[in-house]
Structure 1
Amino acid sequence: VRGPLPQRLGEQNEQTQCIVELKPGDLIEIFRSCYQHWAIYVGDGKVVHLAPPCEHPMDGIASVLAALSDRAFVKKDWLEDVVRKDRYRVNNKHDETHPPLPVSKIVRWAEELVGREMPYNLTSHNCEHFVMELRYGVAMSDQVTEAIAMGTVGVMGMAAAVIRSMAQRRKHRKE
């Protein structure tokens, strides 16, 4: 029988570990190699999260499965099993702009969803959307917003480079 996970918070500096008390309803941001996975703390060392059909211990495979899948399952797991060796932190980042729902409602709703199959889409129904809706009643994902913004900036940058290159070629031809 496991005891609750030591209640720690992974900081940016890996040499520093800051002790925090996890509270039911807290959003847990887990830093995977190339994305963040999100879960919601429900107490006693456990979290509820949205995961691809078969969550492999190797996060690269799980993230590929998630990207290719159009469904995911709501799971309740030990926080330490979900975090593995990755850094994590409590990140209730929208508390100032979106008042959280009552903790009892958040936890009850999360627990009621455990075991359910849910639609999954990287841009509209991912693990961050899932936990944000549980905490705030609004499904949102800053990862998606930032990725779209970066993609837009990237596309605009590429377009500018192409236009600049074409202009230089025309100028060079005229000379």
Structure 2
Amino acid sequence: MAEGRRDPQPGDLIEIFRPLYQHWALYVGDGYVIHVTDEEASSIFLSSSSISATRAKVKMELLKDVVKNDNWRVNNKFDRSRTPRPVKEIIRDAEQWIGKEVSYDVLKKNCEHFVTMLRYGKGVSEQAEKAVFGGATALLGTALLGALAVLRVALSGGKSKI
């Protein structure tokens, strides 16, 4: 079932809502997308998001086959802040990657980085940034709470009221 605009145009970014993450593909026309996928994944939960994956493959497949039963939408999310490259260049560059094995890192070089690099000339992944900064924020919060507890004990003369 599709969500959002149902008529993708060549060069559009396609966001696919998987159960635990978003998978990204680039629409190239005639119902096809180009995307980075972890071929070794044995389940949809691991495909293109496997933390242990270090290599992935660039494939051209029908959008309906990549989406399966998941929701999707056209999401050219950076068009307001970045100028998309010319569509012919986006498609030409994307097609050069088909069938190639690429390095893959869920936080630094994932499917979202791949398609935003093609569309805008710079790879960006908001979901990776959220994972990194969200994890860093949680770690910082824990460290601050620990430091406050130590400070409280030190200020109370080493006597805890617990």
TM-score bin (small chain): 0.7 to 0.9
Q: 5+ residue gaps in structure 1?
A: 1-7, 11-17
Q: How far does the alpha carbon of each residue in 1:36-57 deviate from its partner, in whole angstroms, 9 at most, with x for none?
A: 110000111111000113344x
Q: For the residues of structure 2 that align with 1:130 and 1:45, how far apart are their CA atoms?
A: 19
Give 1:84 deviation, angstroms: 1.5
Q: For the residues of structure 1 that align with 2:96 and 2:160, how far apart are their CA atoms?
A: 71
Single out whichever of 124-133 and 103-112 deviates more from structure 2: 103-112
Q: Is the 8 A contact 2:54 2:103 kept in 1?
A: yes
Q: Is the 8 A contact 1:9 1:90 kept in 2?
A: no
Partner residue in 2 for 1:44: 30
Q: For the residues of structure 2 that align with 1:157 and 1:126, how far apart are their CA atoms?
A: 28
Partner residue in 2 for 1:13: none
Partner residue in 2 for 1:148: 132
Q: How far does the alpha carbon of each residue in 1:17-54 deviate from its partner, in whole angstroms, 9 at most, with x for none?
A: x5531101100111112111100001111110001133
Q: 5+ residue gaps in structure 2?
A: none
Q: Does 2:92 correspond to 1:98?
A: no
Structure 1 residues 26 and 61: alpha-carbon distance in aligned structure 2, compared to 1, 3 A threshold? same
Partner residue in 1 for 2:45: 60
Q: Is the 8 A contact 1:9 1:88 kept in 2?
A: yes
Provide the alpha-carbon RMSD of the alignment.
Answer: 2.0
Partner residue in 1 for 2:118: 134
TM score, norm. by length of structure 2: 0.88
| Residue 14 (structure 2) aligned to one of 28, 44, 48 | 28
Count of residue correspondences: 159
TM score, norm. by length of structure 1: 0.82
Q: Is the 8 A contact 2:37 2:48 kept in 1?
A: no
SS in 2 for 1:67: coil
Q: For the residues of structure 1 that align with 2:147 and 2:6, how far apart are their CA atoms?
A: 52
Amino acid at match of 2:40: C
Give 1:138 deviation, angstroms: 0.8
Amino acid at match of 2:113: H
Of Structure 1 and Structure 2, the greater helix share is in 1
Q: For the residues of structure 2 that align with 1:174 and 1:73, how far apart are their CA atoms?
A: 57
**Larger RCO: Structure 1 or Structure 2 (Cα < 8 Å, ≥ 6 residues apart)?**
2
Partner residue in 2 for 1:72: 56
Partner residue in 2 for 1:83: 67
Structure 1 vs Structure 2: percent identity of aligned residues?
40
Q: How far does the alpha carbon of each residue in 1:41-95 deviate from its partner, in whole angstroms, 9 at most, with x for none?
A: 0111111000113344x3223256x321211100111111111121111110111
Partner residue in 2 for 1:15: none
